[in-house]
Amino acid sequence: MRTTRSLELGTGLFVLLGFAALFFLTTQLPGSGLKLGRESGYLVTARFDNVGDLKPGAPVSMAGVSIGRVESIGYDPRVFKAVVTMRIQPRFNEIPDDSDAAIQTQGLLGGKFIGITPGGSETYLKGGGQIEFTQSAVVLENLVNKFFANFARRGSDGDKPPATEAQQQDGNGSK
């Protein structure tokens, strides 16, 4: 009787710890929306033609160092571009205003983040500033579709492969 009670308590404690760990991990995900207090820093925007699957909460980095987070992503119907608002940590207050921002991928199939490459200007971005030079996300599916479309078009044009050197010497090369 005593062992079954301790087994039940141990199992219940294990399940409770599992739920606590799961809750902790979900609050740490980018874009979970659960924030403990107001984050400090200044807001900067950038406009992109395509943000791919960039999400709010994604990192913003310079030289591989995280300097902020993506605050929000919206759409500007006047210029038909996505507007990304980034919150930059206050200690990174000397980012040249001619810097460029690119949406990059963490690894081959990893999540998206914004990488900022510094410019050479003597003036710096301030709160409410905008990064003018941007590079949109490279969407892997679009690249694969273009490759196969080009491959299919080339095959339907009747293009024959070039003759090998041996075929040209024998005079059997077809052109």
User: For the segment 24-36, what is each residue's pLDDT rounded down to a tens digit?
Assistant: 877 666 555 555 5
Per-residue pLDDT at 107 exceeds 60: yes
Total domains in the chain come to 3
What single letter denotes the amino acid at residue 158? G
Note whether 64 and 100 are same-domain residues: yes
The answer to the question of residue 55 being in a domain is yes
Tell me, what's the pLDDT at 157? 53
Distance CA 148, CA 116 (A): 32
User: Is residue 27 domain-shared with residue 49, that is, in the same domain?
Assistant: no
Contact 102, 50 (CB under 8 A): no
48 and 28 housed in the same domain: no
Instruction: State residue 6's pLDDT score.
Output: 85
> Looking at residue 60, what is its pLDDT?
94
Residues 130 and 56 in one domain: yes
Model confidence at 135: pLDDT above 60: yes
* Percent share of the chain, pLDDT over 90: 43
The reply to whether 37 falls in a domain is no
On whether both 131 and 59 belong to a single domain, the answer is yes
Beta strand spans in 11-91 (E): 42-48, 59-62, 65-76, 81-88
User: What are the residues facing 76 on neighbouring strands?
Assistant: 81
- What confidence category does residue 159 fall into, taking pLDDT thresholds of 50, 70 and 90? low
pLDDT of residue 31: 52
Tell me whether residue 172 is in a domain: yes
Phi, psi of 137, rounded to the nearest 5 degrees: -70, 145
Q: Which domain holds residue 66?
A: 42-138
124 lies in the same domain as 143: no
Cβ contact 130:78 at 8 Å: no
Q: Residues 128, 72: one domain?
A: yes
Residue with the two structure tokens 């009787």: 1
Q: What is the pTM of this model?
A: 0.63
Q: Which of 137, 124, 116 is nearest to 67 (CA)?
A: 116
